[in-house]
A and B are shown apart, each in its own frame.
Chain A
Amino acid sequence: MPDVFVSEIKNIENKPKKVERHTFHSRNPLASYCYFPDGIRFVAKDSKERIVLFLRKHPITNIGWIIISLLMFSAPMALDRFPILSFLPDNFQFVAVLGWYLITIAFTFESFLNWFFSVYIITDERVFDVDFVNLIYREITEANIDQIQDVTSRMGSVVRTIFNYGDILIQTASEVPRIEFEAVPHPDKVAKILRELRVEEEQEKIEGRVR
């Protein structure tokens, strides 16, 4: 007996997903906006999960600590003009300068690490906010895409408008009611991708393809 109706669900698996239309794919490990990144491994990711978007704070947000670091590195050169350590013997002055460079290196390195490892990851199933608050404190916040209730993008200053970065506020129905992506590039695009992923997730639920 011939089939009257054949479901197309089997073919849906092979269809290119809507969210793959966006650009900004990058292999640069310092990129702050990377769409479908290659070679990124994340401890909380499932084997079948795909990273759709990898975000950090916009590079311009680093300008503050970079300027402070440059000033700190150049400060010992001003000792000739302003000999504030002249009351110390030479050997103590030498060790003081070395100590100053140690503190400067530590400040610079910690600031870089804080930016580099505090990331926001959007996979096809979940949203992650990875924070390294200080030396020993790590916090990973996650929410399922289907638990997202509302996404708001916020751009509020001249600098943010010029460099096109802002905050994304994600309201969720999970235990963590709110996830915030701070100072990420292209907030409108991020919000759009999240919206598309939510639609796709709802479609998967309707079609019974939920993992």
Chain B
Amino acid sequence: MIGISVLLIGKVFALVALGIYIVFALVVVKQVGLMTKTIEVGLEVLIKLIAWAHLAFAVFVFLTAFVIL
């Protein structure tokens, strides 16, 4: 019973941390948008794509943790 509780607390901590990370990934997307508006040098599409892929990966990890933990 105690073991299960510890794992449950661990799961909650992991999900909260990953939730905060998703917010961070959203800020990165916004930041990249701001940067590419400030300076356009020709790699804007690729950089925005990486930022969105990073956000998608963060959401994927959150969902994975939610399912398997």
Q: Which residues of A contact B (CB under 8 A)?
A: 29-30, 37, 39-43, 89, 91-92, 94-95, 98-99, 102, 105-106, 109-110, 113, 116-117, 119, 130, 132, 135-136, 138, 140
Contact = CB atoms under 8 A, between A and B. Distances in A.
B43 interface: yes
A43 B41 contact: no
Interface of B: 7, 10, 14, 17-18, 21, 24-25, 27-28, 31-32, 34-35, 37-43, 47, 50-51, 54, 57-58, 61, 64-65, 68-69
B27 A135 contact: yes
A99 B18 contact: yes
A39 B42 contact: yes
B14 to A, nearest CB: 6
Contacts, number: 83
A98 B38 contact: no
B41 to A, nearest CB: 5
A99 B17 contact: yes
Contact of A29 (B14, B43, B54): B43
B69 A91 contact: yes
The 10 A-B residue pairs with the shortest CB-CB distance, nearest first, are: A41-B40, A29-B42, A117-B35, A29-B41, A91-B68, A95-B65, A98-B61, A29-B43, A43-B38, A135-B31
A87 to B, nearest CB: 11
Nearest to B41: A29
Which of A95, A99, A116, A117 has the largest number of chain B CB atoms within 10 A?
A: A95
A98 B68 CA distance: 13
A15 B64 CA distance: 65
Given A41-B40, A43-B38, A136 B28 contact: no
Contacts of B14: 92, 95, 99
